[in-house]
Protein backbone atom coordinates (compact mmCIF):
# COMPACT_ATOMS: atom_id res chain seq x y z
CA UNK A 1 0.00 0.00 0.00
CA UNK A 2 1.20 3.51 -0.77
CA UNK A 3 0.13 6.71 0.95
CA UNK A 4 -1.38 9.24 -1.40
CA UNK A 5 -3.04 12.62 -1.63
CA UNK A 6 -6.08 13.42 -3.76
CA UNK A 7 -5.11 14.86 -7.12
CA UNK A 8 -6.85 18.24 -6.91
CA UNK A 9 -9.72 20.21 -5.43
CA UNK A 10 -11.85 19.52 -8.51
CA UNK A 11 -14.89 17.51 -7.41
CA UNK A 12 -13.55 17.25 -3.85
CA UNK A 13 -15.63 17.86 -0.76
CA UNK A 14 -14.84 20.90 1.41
CA UNK A 15 -13.87 20.57 5.07
CA UNK A 16 -14.24 23.33 7.62
CA UNK A 17 -12.03 23.04 10.68
CA UNK A 18 -13.66 24.46 13.77
CA UNK A 19 -13.64 24.56 17.54
CA UNK A 20 -16.84 25.35 19.40
CA UNK A 21 -17.17 28.51 17.30
CA UNK A 22 -18.39 27.75 13.81
CA UNK A 23 -16.32 29.36 11.03
CA UNK A 24 -17.31 32.27 8.85
CA UNK A 25 -18.41 31.20 5.38
CA UNK A 26 -20.57 28.34 6.60
CA UNK A 27 -24.11 28.86 5.36
CA UNK A 28 -27.14 29.02 7.64
CA UNK A 29 -28.39 25.53 6.80
CA UNK A 30 -25.00 24.01 7.67
CA UNK A 31 -24.87 25.99 10.92
CA UNK A 32 -28.31 24.83 11.92
CA UNK A 33 -27.43 21.22 11.09
CA UNK A 34 -24.20 21.37 13.11
CA UNK A 35 -26.06 22.79 16.10
CA UNK A 36 -28.89 20.27 15.80
CA UNK A 37 -26.51 17.30 15.65
CA UNK A 38 -24.50 18.42 18.66
CA UNK A 39 -21.26 19.43 16.98
CA UNK A 40 -19.04 20.84 19.71
CA UNK A 41 -15.68 21.13 17.95
CA UNK A 42 -14.00 18.40 19.99
CA UNK A 43 -10.74 17.27 18.39
CA UNK A 44 -11.46 14.76 15.63
CA UNK A 45 -15.25 15.13 15.82
CA UNK A 46 -16.88 14.86 12.40
CA UNK A 47 -20.15 16.38 11.26
CA UNK A 48 -21.13 15.50 7.70
CA UNK A 49 -23.06 18.30 6.04
CA UNK A 50 -26.02 17.32 3.81
CA UNK A 51 -27.44 19.26 0.90
CA UNK A 52 -31.13 19.76 0.15
CA UNK A 53 -31.21 16.42 -1.71
CA UNK A 54 -29.58 14.61 1.20
CA UNK A 55 -26.23 14.17 -0.56
CA UNK A 56 -23.06 15.10 1.30
CA UNK A 57 -21.83 18.60 0.54
CA UNK A 58 -18.91 18.79 2.97
CA UNK A 59 -17.90 18.23 6.57
CA UNK A 60 -17.05 19.99 9.77
CA UNK A 61 -14.08 18.60 11.69
CA UNK A 62 -13.38 19.60 15.26
CA UNK A 63 -9.93 20.83 16.21
CA UNK A 64 -10.55 21.01 19.94
CA UNK A 65 -8.90 23.48 22.25
CA UNK A 66 -6.41 23.56 25.08
CA UNK A 67 -4.89 20.14 25.73
CA UNK A 68 -6.47 18.73 22.56
CA UNK A 69 -3.85 20.63 20.59
CA UNK A 70 -1.14 18.57 22.29
CA UNK A 71 -2.17 15.31 20.65
CA UNK A 72 -0.15 14.52 17.55
CA UNK A 73 -2.13 14.14 14.33
CA UNK A 74 -5.41 15.01 16.04
CA UNK A 75 -7.07 15.68 12.69
CA UNK A 76 -6.20 12.17 11.54
CA UNK A 77 -8.98 10.98 13.84
CA UNK A 78 -11.38 12.28 11.24
CA UNK A 79 -9.77 10.61 8.23
CA UNK A 80 -11.27 7.21 9.00
CA UNK A 81 -14.68 8.67 9.78
CA UNK A 82 -15.13 10.39 6.42
CA UNK A 83 -16.58 8.56 3.41
CA UNK A 84 -14.31 7.49 0.57
CA UNK A 85 -13.53 10.30 -1.82
CA UNK A 86 -11.44 13.43 -2.23
CA UNK A 87 -11.56 16.16 0.39
CA UNK A 88 -9.93 19.56 0.77
CA UNK A 89 -9.64 21.95 3.69
CA UNK A 90 -11.80 24.98 2.99
CA UNK A 91 -11.10 26.79 6.25
CA UNK A 92 -7.86 26.76 8.26
CA UNK A 93 -8.05 28.35 11.72
CA UNK A 94 -4.98 30.10 13.04
CA UNK A 95 -2.41 27.90 14.75
CA UNK A 96 -3.05 24.71 12.78
CA UNK A 97 0.08 23.13 11.31
CA UNK A 98 -1.02 22.31 7.78
CA UNK A 99 1.87 19.93 7.10
CA UNK A 100 1.20 18.00 10.31
CA UNK A 101 -2.48 17.70 9.46
CA UNK A 102 -1.68 16.45 5.97
CA UNK A 103 0.99 14.02 7.19
CA UNK A 104 -1.27 12.58 9.87
CA UNK A 105 -3.93 12.06 7.21
CA UNK A 106 -1.41 10.07 5.14
CA UNK A 107 -0.48 7.93 8.15
CA UNK A 108 -4.16 7.16 8.76
CA UNK A 109 -4.19 5.31 5.43
CA UNK A 110 -1.94 2.58 6.85
CA UNK A 111 -3.21 -0.92 7.54
CA UNK A 112 -1.27 -4.15 7.95
CA UNK A 113 -3.00 -6.47 5.52
CA UNK A 114 -0.52 -9.30 4.96
CA UNK A 115 -2.55 -11.92 6.82
CA UNK A 116 -6.12 -10.65 6.62
CA UNK A 117 -8.04 -8.03 4.77
CA UNK A 118 -7.56 -4.66 6.41
CA UNK A 119 -7.99 -1.10 5.21
CA UNK A 120 -6.93 2.26 6.50
CA UNK A 121 -8.73 5.53 5.91
CA UNK A 122 -10.27 5.73 2.44
CA UNK A 123 -10.82 9.47 2.40
CA UNK A 124 -8.05 11.25 0.47
CA UNK A 125 -6.98 14.77 1.31
CA UNK A 126 -5.85 17.32 -1.24
CA UNK A 127 -2.37 18.38 -0.12
CA UNK A 128 -2.72 21.82 1.44
CA UNK A 129 -0.70 24.77 0.24
CA UNK A 130 2.16 25.30 1.16
CA UNK A 131 2.81 21.73 2.31
CA UNK A 132 5.59 19.90 0.43
CA UNK A 133 3.52 16.96 -0.79
CA UNK A 134 6.38 14.84 -2.24
CA UNK A 135 8.35 15.16 1.00
CA UNK A 136 5.34 14.24 3.12
CA UNK A 137 4.65 11.20 0.94
CA UNK A 138 8.30 10.12 1.19
CA UNK A 139 8.12 10.35 4.97
CA UNK A 140 4.89 8.37 5.07
CA UNK A 141 6.28 5.68 2.72
CA UNK A 142 9.28 5.35 5.01
CA UNK A 143 6.98 4.93 8.00
CA UNK A 144 4.88 2.33 6.18
CA UNK A 145 8.00 0.33 5.33
CA UNK A 146 9.17 0.34 8.93
CA UNK A 147 5.71 -0.60 10.23
CA UNK A 148 5.35 -3.49 7.78
CA UNK A 149 8.74 -4.94 8.72
CA UNK A 150 8.08 -4.72 12.46
CA UNK A 151 4.54 -6.06 12.21
CA UNK A 152 5.60 -9.16 10.28
CA UNK A 153 6.05 -12.10 12.68
CA UNK A 154 9.35 -13.92 12.99
CA UNK A 155 8.25 -16.95 10.98
CA UNK A 156 8.10 -14.60 7.97
CA UNK A 157 10.71 -12.04 9.10
CA UNK A 158 13.76 -14.00 10.14
CA UNK A 159 17.30 -13.04 9.09
CA UNK A 160 16.66 -14.40 5.58
CA UNK A 161 13.61 -12.19 5.07
CA UNK A 162 15.25 -9.17 6.69
CA UNK A 163 18.13 -9.54 4.25
CA UNK A 164 15.64 -9.76 1.39
CA UNK A 165 13.91 -6.59 2.61
CA UNK A 166 17.27 -4.80 2.82
CA UNK A 167 18.14 -5.93 -0.71
CA UNK A 168 14.81 -4.59 -1.93
CA UNK A 169 15.44 -1.19 -0.33
CA UNK A 170 18.94 -1.21 -1.81
CA UNK A 171 17.74 -2.08 -5.31
CA UNK A 172 15.08 0.64 -5.30
CA UNK A 173 17.37 3.33 -3.89
CA UNK A 174 20.74 2.81 -5.52
CA UNK A 175 22.68 1.05 -2.75
CA UNK A 176 25.21 -1.69 -3.23
CA UNK A 177 24.82 -4.71 -0.94
CA UNK A 178 27.29 -6.95 0.85
CA UNK A 179 26.29 -9.75 3.24
CA UNK A 180 28.57 -11.78 5.49
CA UNK A 181 26.82 -14.85 6.85
CA UNK A 182 27.21 -17.84 9.17
CA UNK A 183 30.78 -19.03 9.78
CA UNK A 184 32.11 -16.38 7.42
CA UNK A 185 31.36 -13.98 10.29
CA UNK A 186 34.22 -15.60 12.21
CA UNK A 187 36.51 -15.46 9.20
CA UNK A 188 35.80 -11.73 8.85
CA UNK A 189 36.08 -11.06 12.59
CA UNK A 190 32.52 -10.54 13.78
CA UNK A 191 32.64 -12.96 16.73
CA UNK A 192 29.83 -11.51 18.84
CA UNK A 193 27.32 -11.41 15.97
CA UNK A 194 28.15 -15.06 15.36
CA UNK A 195 27.94 -16.01 19.05
CA UNK A 196 24.51 -14.46 19.52
CA UNK A 197 23.00 -15.82 16.32
CA UNK A 198 24.59 -19.24 15.87
CA UNK A 199 21.77 -21.08 17.72
CA UNK A 200 19.07 -19.60 15.48
CA UNK A 201 17.12 -21.54 12.89
CA UNK A 202 18.54 -19.20 10.24
CA UNK A 203 22.18 -18.21 10.02
CA UNK A 204 23.31 -14.93 11.57
CA UNK A 205 24.61 -12.32 9.18
CA UNK A 206 25.84 -8.76 8.79
CA UNK A 207 23.99 -6.85 6.06
CA UNK A 208 25.78 -3.86 4.57
CA UNK A 209 24.29 -1.27 2.21
CA UNK A 210 26.40 1.52 0.68
CA UNK A 211 25.55 4.52 -1.48
CA UNK A 212 27.72 7.40 -2.67
CA UNK A 213 31.47 7.81 -2.79
CA UNK A 214 31.95 11.51 -2.07
CA UNK A 215 30.96 13.95 0.63
CA UNK A 216 30.35 13.62 4.37
CA UNK A 217 29.83 10.09 5.62
CA UNK A 218 26.93 8.82 7.70
CA UNK A 219 26.65 5.25 8.94
CA UNK A 220 23.37 3.91 10.33
CA UNK A 221 23.52 0.76 12.44
CA UNK A 222 20.22 -0.98 13.25
CA UNK A 223 19.66 -3.85 15.63
CA UNK A 224 18.22 -6.76 13.67
CA UNK A 225 17.29 -9.34 16.30
CA UNK A 226 14.45 -10.96 14.40
CA UNK A 227 13.22 -12.79 17.48
CA UNK A 228 14.52 -12.72 21.02
CA UNK A 229 13.76 -15.65 23.31
CA UNK A 230 16.22 -14.21 25.80
CA UNK A 231 18.57 -17.09 25.03
CA UNK A 232 19.46 -19.39 27.89
CA UNK A 233 18.41 -16.68 30.34
CA UNK A 234 15.00 -17.29 28.79
CA UNK A 235 12.34 -14.62 28.87
CA UNK A 236 8.97 -15.32 30.49
CA UNK A 237 6.27 -16.07 27.92
CA UNK A 238 4.58 -12.72 28.45
CA UNK A 239 7.83 -10.93 27.65
CA UNK A 240 8.26 -12.83 24.39
CA UNK A 241 4.94 -11.77 22.89
CA UNK A 242 6.31 -8.65 21.24
CA UNK A 243 9.77 -9.93 20.42
CA UNK A 244 9.05 -9.93 16.70
CA UNK A 245 9.66 -6.19 17.08
CA UNK A 246 13.23 -6.67 18.33
CA UNK A 247 14.42 -5.89 14.81
CA UNK A 248 12.78 -2.46 15.06
CA UNK A 249 16.15 -0.72 14.87
CA UNK A 250 16.90 -2.44 11.57
CA UNK A 251 13.42 -1.60 10.27
CA UNK A 252 13.91 2.02 11.24
CA UNK A 253 17.32 2.50 9.63
CA UNK A 254 16.02 0.92 6.42
CA UNK A 255 13.08 3.32 6.46
CA UNK A 256 15.40 6.22 7.23
CA UNK A 257 17.80 5.29 4.42
CA UNK A 258 14.91 5.12 1.95
CA UNK A 259 13.59 8.47 3.19
CA UNK A 260 17.00 10.18 2.90
CA UNK A 261 17.22 9.09 -0.72
CA UNK A 262 13.61 9.95 -1.60
CA UNK A 263 13.90 13.47 -0.15
CA UNK A 264 17.34 13.97 -1.78
CA UNK A 265 18.89 14.43 1.66
CA UNK A 266 21.29 11.60 0.78
CA UNK A 267 22.61 13.41 -2.29
CA UNK A 268 26.24 14.29 -1.77
CA UNK A 269 26.59 11.87 1.15
CA UNK A 270 28.40 8.61 1.65
CA UNK A 271 25.55 6.71 3.26
CA UNK A 272 26.10 3.31 4.80
CA UNK A 273 23.65 1.00 6.57
CA UNK A 274 24.75 -1.92 8.74
CA UNK A 275 22.33 -4.49 10.14
CA UNK A 276 23.45 -7.40 12.29
CA UNK A 277 20.58 -9.84 11.67
CA UNK A 278 20.18 -12.74 14.11
CA UNK A 279 17.76 -14.82 16.13
CA UNK A 280 18.56 -15.06 19.82
CA UNK A 281 17.52 -18.68 20.26
CA UNK A 282 18.18 -21.71 22.45
CA UNK A 283 20.12 -24.75 21.26
CA UNK A 284 23.15 -26.79 22.24
CA UNK A 285 25.47 -24.24 20.68
CA UNK A 286 23.83 -21.16 22.24
CA UNK A 287 26.09 -18.73 24.05
CA UNK A 288 25.86 -19.01 27.83
CA UNK A 289 25.66 -16.82 30.92
CA UNK A 290 29.21 -16.39 32.18
CA UNK A 291 30.82 -16.74 28.76
CA UNK A 292 33.45 -14.17 27.93
CA UNK A 293 33.30 -13.07 24.30
CA UNK A 294 35.97 -11.29 22.33
CA UNK A 295 34.61 -8.45 20.20
CA UNK A 296 35.78 -7.21 16.82
CA UNK A 297 37.30 -4.21 18.60
CA UNK A 298 39.35 -6.57 20.77
CA UNK A 299 37.53 -5.72 24.00
CA UNK A 300 36.32 -8.71 25.98
CA UNK A 301 32.75 -8.88 27.23
CA UNK A 302 31.43 -10.97 30.09
CA UNK A 303 27.92 -12.24 29.36
CA UNK A 304 25.94 -11.84 32.55
CA UNK A 305 22.62 -12.14 30.76
CA UNK A 306 22.03 -13.64 27.33
CA UNK A 307 18.94 -11.44 27.08
CA UNK A 308 21.18 -8.39 26.73
CA UNK A 309 22.22 -9.57 23.28
CA UNK A 310 21.34 -6.53 21.21
CA UNK A 311 24.31 -4.53 22.42
CA UNK A 312 26.61 -7.45 21.56
CA UNK A 313 25.62 -7.63 17.91
CA UNK A 314 25.55 -3.85 17.62
CA UNK A 315 29.05 -3.64 19.11
CA UNK A 316 30.67 -5.68 16.36
CA UNK A 317 28.79 -3.78 13.64
CA UNK A 318 29.67 -0.43 15.20
CA UNK A 319 33.34 -1.31 15.56
CA UNK A 320 33.33 -2.20 11.85
CA UNK A 321 31.60 1.10 11.06
CA UNK A 322 34.06 3.12 13.16
CA UNK A 323 37.03 1.69 11.26
CA UNK A 324 35.88 3.80 8.29
CA UNK A 325 35.84 6.91 10.52
CA UNK A 326 32.41 8.23 9.46
CA UNK A 327 31.50 11.80 10.26
CA UNK A 328 28.38 10.47 12.01
CA UNK A 329 27.72 7.03 13.42
CA UNK A 330 24.12 6.47 14.53
CA UNK A 331 22.77 3.36 16.20
CA UNK A 332 19.08 2.57 16.56
CA UNK A 333 17.80 -0.32 18.63
CA UNK A 334 14.88 -1.64 20.64
CA UNK A 335 17.46 -2.05 23.35
CA UNK A 336 16.20 -1.68 26.92
CA UNK A 337 13.03 -1.91 28.95
CA UNK A 338 14.60 0.72 31.20
CA UNK A 339 14.05 3.33 28.49
CA UNK A 340 10.34 2.55 28.50
CA UNK A 341 10.16 2.76 32.28
CA UNK A 342 11.82 6.16 32.17
CA UNK A 343 9.99 7.76 29.24
CA UNK A 344 7.14 5.48 28.19
CA UNK A 345 6.47 4.02 24.75
CA UNK A 346 5.91 7.29 22.91
CA UNK A 347 9.12 9.19 23.72
CA UNK A 348 12.37 7.36 22.92
CA UNK A 349 15.59 8.54 24.52
CA UNK A 350 18.69 9.32 22.53
CA UNK A 351 22.28 9.88 23.59
CA UNK A 352 24.75 12.31 22.03
CA UNK A 353 27.83 14.04 23.46
CA UNK A 354 27.53 17.06 21.15
CA UNK A 355 25.25 19.62 22.80
CA UNK A 356 24.48 21.56 19.61
CA UNK A 357 23.78 18.40 17.64
CA UNK A 358 21.57 17.00 20.39
CA UNK A 359 19.58 20.24 20.52
CA UNK A 360 19.13 20.14 16.74
CA UNK A 361 17.94 16.53 16.81
CA UNK A 362 15.47 17.23 19.61
CA UNK A 363 14.12 20.34 17.85
CA UNK A 364 13.81 18.49 14.55
CA UNK A 365 11.84 15.76 16.31
CA UNK A 366 9.31 18.34 17.46
CA UNK A 367 9.22 20.05 14.07
CA UNK A 368 8.53 16.75 12.24
CA UNK A 369 6.17 15.23 14.83
CA UNK A 370 8.70 12.61 15.90
CA UNK A 371 9.57 13.52 19.50
CA UNK A 372 12.77 12.25 21.11
CA UNK A 373 14.38 13.12 24.42
CA UNK A 374 18.06 13.49 25.19
CA UNK A 375 19.56 11.36 27.95
CA UNK A 376 23.12 11.57 29.29
CA UNK A 377 26.17 9.41 28.76
CA UNK A 378 26.68 9.59 32.53
CA UNK A 379 30.32 8.63 32.86
CA UNK A 380 30.28 7.88 36.62
CA UNK A 381 28.19 4.82 35.67
CA UNK A 382 31.07 3.40 33.63
CA UNK A 383 32.15 1.39 36.68
CA UNK A 384 28.82 -0.44 36.49
CA UNK A 385 29.84 -2.05 33.19
CA UNK A 386 33.30 -3.13 34.32
CA UNK A 387 33.00 -6.72 35.60
CA UNK A 388 36.59 -7.27 36.76
CA UNK A 389 37.45 -10.38 34.73
CA UNK A 390 36.70 -8.85 31.33
CA UNK A 391 36.77 -5.39 29.85
CA UNK A 392 33.00 -4.94 29.82
CA UNK A 393 29.83 -6.41 31.32
CA UNK A 394 26.82 -6.76 29.02
CA UNK A 395 24.24 -6.72 31.85
CA UNK A 396 25.32 -5.04 35.08
CA UNK A 397 23.60 -6.24 38.24
CA UNK A 398 21.16 -4.07 40.16
CA UNK A 399 18.82 -3.05 37.38
CA UNK A 400 19.44 0.68 37.72
CA UNK A 401 20.15 3.10 34.85
CA UNK A 402 19.79 0.29 32.32
CA UNK A 403 19.37 2.50 29.27
CA UNK A 404 22.34 4.67 30.24
CA UNK A 405 24.67 1.75 30.92
CA UNK A 406 23.68 0.18 27.59
CA UNK A 407 24.49 3.45 25.82
CA UNK A 408 27.83 3.68 27.62
CA UNK A 409 28.60 0.11 26.57
CA UNK A 410 27.91 0.92 22.92
CA UNK A 411 29.92 4.14 22.98
CA UNK A 412 33.10 2.12 23.52
CA UNK A 413 32.60 0.67 20.05
CA UNK A 414 31.95 4.03 18.35
CA UNK A 415 35.49 5.26 19.00
CA UNK A 416 36.96 6.47 15.74
CA UNK A 417 33.74 7.96 14.41
CA UNK A 418 33.56 11.73 14.22
CA UNK A 419 30.37 11.97 16.28
CA UNK A 420 27.98 9.38 17.66
CA UNK A 421 24.30 9.24 18.57
CA UNK A 422 22.35 6.30 19.94
CA UNK A 423 18.55 5.91 19.92
CA UNK A 424 16.91 3.47 22.35
CA UNK A 425 13.55 3.16 20.59
CA UNK A 426 10.46 1.11 21.46
CA UNK A 427 9.19 0.64 17.91
CA UNK A 428 5.65 -0.21 18.98
CA UNK A 429 2.35 1.60 19.38
CA UNK A 430 0.62 -0.17 22.32
CA UNK A 431 -2.85 1.12 21.44
CA UNK A 432 -4.24 2.93 18.45
CA UNK A 433 -3.80 6.71 18.32
CA UNK A 434 -4.50 9.28 15.60
CA UNK A 435 -2.38 8.38 12.57
CA UNK A 436 -0.79 5.49 14.44
CA UNK A 437 -2.42 2.10 14.27
CA UNK A 438 -1.66 -0.37 17.03
CA UNK A 439 1.54 -2.20 16.14
CA UNK A 440 4.92 -1.32 14.74
CA UNK A 441 5.86 2.34 14.55
CA UNK A 442 8.84 4.34 13.37
CA UNK A 443 10.66 6.47 15.93
CA UNK A 444 13.59 8.85 15.58
CA UNK A 445 13.90 8.65 11.79
CA UNK A 446 12.19 11.96 10.96
CA UNK A 447 14.07 13.67 13.78
CA UNK A 448 17.29 12.65 12.04
CA UNK A 449 15.97 13.51 8.57
CA UNK A 450 15.37 17.10 9.62
CA UNK A 451 18.58 17.46 11.64
CA UNK A 452 21.18 15.77 9.42
CA UNK A 453 21.73 18.56 6.88
CA UNK A 454 22.67 20.95 9.69
CA UNK A 455 24.75 18.36 11.49
CA UNK A 456 26.84 17.79 8.37
CA UNK A 457 27.24 21.46 7.39
**Domain of 243: which CATH number?**
3.40.630.10
* Listed residues 131, 150, 173: the one ending a domain: 131
> Looking at the structure, do residues 312 and 402 belong to the same domain, yes or no?
yes
Q: Does the residue 224 lie in any domain?
A: yes
**pLDDT tens digits, residue range 228-262?**
999 999 999 999 999 999 999 999 999 999 999 99
> Looking at the structure, do residues 75 and 163 belong to the same domain, yes or no?
no
SS3 for the chain is CCCCCECCCCCCEEEEEECCCCCCCCCHHHHHHHHHCCCCCCCCCEEEEECCCCCEEEEEEECCCHHHHHCCCCCHHHHCCCCCEEEEEEECCCCCCHHHHHHHHHHCCCCCCCCCCCCCCCEEEECCCCCCHHHHHHHHHHHHHHHHHHHCCCCCCCHHHHHHHHHHHHHHHCCEEEEEECCHHHHCCCHHHHHHHCCCCCCCEEEEEEECCCCCEEEEEECEEEEECCCCCCCCHHHHCCHHHHHHHHHHHHHHHHHHHHCCCCCCCEEEEEEEEEEECCCCCCCCCCCEEECCCCCEEECCCCCCCHHHHHHHHHHHHHCCCCCEEEEEECCCHHHHHHHCCCCCEEEECCHHHHHHHHHHHHHCCCCCEEECCCHHHHHHHCCCCCCEECCCCCCCCHHHHHHHHHHHHHECECEEEEEECCCEECCCECCECCEECCCCHHHHHHHHHHHCC
> Looking at the structure, do residues 86 and 155 belong to the same domain, yes or no?
no
The β-bridge partners of 59 are 15, 48
Instruction: Give the model's pLDDT for residue 70.
Output: 59
What does the CA dihedral 292, 296, 298, 301 come to, rounded to 10 degrees? Answer: -30
Q: Which domain holds residue 26?
A: 13-131
Rounded to whole angstroms, the Cα distance separating 249 from 330 reads: 11
Examine the residue annotation and report whether 311 is marked as an active-site residue of this protein.
Answer: yes
* Listed residues 98, 131, 164: the one ending a domain: 131
Q: Residues 205, 270, 297, 311: which is the catalytic one?
A: 311
> Looking at the structure, do residues 276 and 375 belong to the same domain, yes or no?
yes
Sign, CA torsion 349/354/359/360: negative
Examine the residue annotation and report whether 122 is marked as an active-site residue of this protein.
Answer: no
> Looking at the structure, do residues 168 and 312 belong to the same domain, yes or no?
yes
Q: Residues 31, 42, 72, 235: which is the catalytic one?
A: 235
Q: Does the residue 8 lie in any domain?
A: no
> Looking at the structure, do residues 161 and 119 belong to the same domain, yes or no?
no
Q: Does the residue 281 lie in any domain?
A: yes
Residues of the chain falling short of pLDDT 70: 66-70
> Looking at the structure, do residues 124 and 106 belong to the same domain, yes or no?
yes
Q: Does the residue 4 lie in any domain?
A: no
> Looking at the structure, do residues 122 and 155 belong to the same domain, yes or no?
no
* Listed residues 105, 131, 157: the one ending a domain: 131
Q: Does the residue 5 lie in any domain?
A: no
Strand 46-50 to strand 56-62: parallel, antiparallel, or no bridges (unpaired)? antiparallel
Rounded to whole angstroms, the Cα distance separating 372 from 347 reads: 5
> Looking at the structure, do residues 143 and 102 belong to the same domain, yes or no?
no
Sign, CA torsion 183/189/191/194: negative
> Looking at the structure, do residues 209 and 79 belong to the same domain, yes or no?
no
Domain count, the chain: 2
Q: Does the residue 287 lie in any domain?
A: yes
Q: Does the residue 295 lie in any domain?
A: yes
Asked if 411 and 336 count as a contact pair (C-beta separation under 8 A), the reply is: no
> Looking at the structure, do residues 202 and 125 belong to the same domain, yes or no?
no
Residue 87's CATH number: 3.40.220.10
Confirm whether pTM is higher than 0.75: yes
> Looking at the structure, do residues 232 and 96 belong to the same domain, yes or no?
no
Instruction: Give the model's pLDDT for residue 337.
Output: 96
Amino acid sequence: MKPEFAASTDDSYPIWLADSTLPEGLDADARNWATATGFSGKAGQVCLLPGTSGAITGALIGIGSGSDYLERFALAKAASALPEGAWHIQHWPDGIDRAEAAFGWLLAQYAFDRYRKAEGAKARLVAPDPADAPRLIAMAESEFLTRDLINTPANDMGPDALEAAARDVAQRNGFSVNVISDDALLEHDFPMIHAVGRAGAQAPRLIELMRGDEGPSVTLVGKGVCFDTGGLDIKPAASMKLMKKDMGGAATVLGLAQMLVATEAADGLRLRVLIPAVENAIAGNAFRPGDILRSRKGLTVEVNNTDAEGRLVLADAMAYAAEDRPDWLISMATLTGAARVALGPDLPPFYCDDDDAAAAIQKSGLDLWDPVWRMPFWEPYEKMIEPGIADLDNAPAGGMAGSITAALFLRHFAEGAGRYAHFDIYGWQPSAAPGRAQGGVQQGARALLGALPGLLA
